[in-house]
């Protein structure tokens, strides 16, 4: 069976892919936690795309997956594309969903407002509890603070620029949900046009949070993409 490597988003963890993995039972599925997330041990390093790409490279080599087929949700897609541009021999193909490609000072400032720990505890305590259980190793408030700092850094120094897009030669299918309020269709189309070997899809009735994505609907796109690039 064909192996797939699933990459989680910011403040996420690999176990979030369990419903999708259930749908993708005809594949060999791998997922893991980026450093400082989920059950992964924290490090003294700040959260950075290049550090997460280093984690990804290690996992690919450890499991002998090169060249790997990547399913990248949100930040996971960004990390995969960065690695594909810098170590193309490790990546076979990438399908993304809800990856934010356009980072600026304004967009970063807007996104970090949603990561205020006090607001989350007061207004959405169930989500706070979920994050606490998800990031028991590092602590969810630490994960949020380090994620905010990473986003602000991305706002000033985006890692995926036009020259980086041009270096991604593997097949890529970029996707966005039509109800996504974090990632715009416009920036997704921009990535589609900037990537040399790309395809585009839009999932109907789909919001940004992974828990809001219907697994069967996304699985159909992934399966179609993988079969098209066997």
- pTM of the predicted protein model: 0.97
Q: Cα(187)–Cα(128) distance, rounded to whole angstroms?
A: 30
Residues in the chain with pLDDT < 50? none
Cβ-count burial 7-45 (b if 16+ within 10 Å, e if not): bbbbbbbbebbebbbebbeebebbbbbbbbbbebeeeee
Q: What is the dihedral of CA 138, 140, 141, 146, to 10 degrees?
A: 70
Looking at residue 88, its pLDDT comes to 98
pLDDT for 14 = 98
- What structural domains does the chain harbor? 3-102+160-228 (3.40.50.1820)
Structure tokens at 192: 């589609």
* Phi, psi at 14, each rounded to 5°: -60, -30
pLDDT 10s digits, 27-84: 999 999 999 999 999 999 999 999 999 999 999 999 999 999 999 999 999 999 999 9
- Structure confidence at residue 155 (pLDDT): 98
- For residue 175, give every residue at least 6 positions away whose Cβ sits within 8 Å of its Cβ, in sequence order, or none: 95, 96, 97, 98, 188, 200, 201, 202, 203, 221
């Amino acid at each position: 069976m064909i192996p797939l490597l699933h990459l989680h988003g910011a403040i996420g963890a690999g176990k979030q892919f369990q419903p999708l993995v259930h749908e993708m039972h005809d594949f060999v599925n791998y997922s893991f936690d980026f450093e400082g997330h989920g059950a992964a041990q924290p490090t003294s390093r700040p959260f950075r795309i290049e550090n997460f790409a280093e984690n990804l490279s290690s996992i690919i080599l450890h499991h002998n997956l090169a060249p790997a087929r990547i399913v990248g949700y949100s930040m996971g897609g960004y990390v995969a594309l960065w690695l594909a541009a810098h170590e193309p021999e490790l990546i076979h193909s990438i399908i993304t969903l809800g990856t934010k490609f356009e980072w600026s000072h304004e967009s970063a400032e807007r996104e970090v407002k949603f990561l205020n720990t006090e607001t989350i505890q007061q207004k959405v305590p169930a989500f706070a509890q979920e994050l606490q259980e998800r990031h028991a190793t590092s602590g969810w408030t630490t994960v949020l603070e380090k994620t905010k700092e990473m986003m602000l850094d991305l706002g000033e120094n985006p890692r995926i620029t036009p020259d980086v897009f041009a270096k991604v030669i593997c097949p890529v299918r970029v996707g966005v949900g039509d109800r996504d309020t974090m990632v715009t269709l416009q920036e997704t189309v921009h990535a589609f046009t900037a990537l040399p070997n790309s395809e585009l899809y839009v999932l109907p009735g789909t919001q940004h949070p992974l828990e809001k994505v219907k697994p069967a609907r996304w699985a159909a796109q992934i399966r179609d993409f993988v079969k098209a690039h066997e």
